[in-house]
Amino acid sequence: MTESLLFGLSLFPYLGFLWCLWRAQAPRGILLGFGLTLLFVAITIPAGIVAQRFYGQTLANVDVLHGAAELWLTVANLTLVLGVRRALQHKIKNHTAEEL
């Protein structure tokens, strides 16, 4: 099994995971964060192709492309962290209000 085939097949469980989150009505920030992670993957693939074709290097060795791709991962992670934080704050606020 080739690396690219394995990578392609790995997207199906992740899409299933996103579908389950959506179906469970996960908070919007969490869904957006995981969705942006998928966008990071979609951006990284063409960036890797460009690095190979134009520079003859792997993506990790072409700083401008690698940095741009990693920026999306940073945005996705930040969105996810803020989404989880917001969901927890909402849960704590509602739990505290119920106790009063």
Rg (CA), the chain: 18
Q: What is the pLDDT along the chain (100 residues), one digit of tens a residue?
A: 777 778 778 889 999 999 999 999 999 999 999 999 999 988 998 899 999 999 999 999 999 999 999 999 999 999 999 999 999 999 888 877 666 5
Contact 46, 65 (CB under 8 A): no
Tokens representing residue 60 in the block: 């990790």
Q: d(Cα 29, Cα 20) in Å, to the nearest integer?
A: 15
Q: With b meaning 16 or more CB within 10 Å and e meaning fewer, what string describes 69-100?
A: bbebbeebeebbeebeeeeeeeeeeeeeeeee
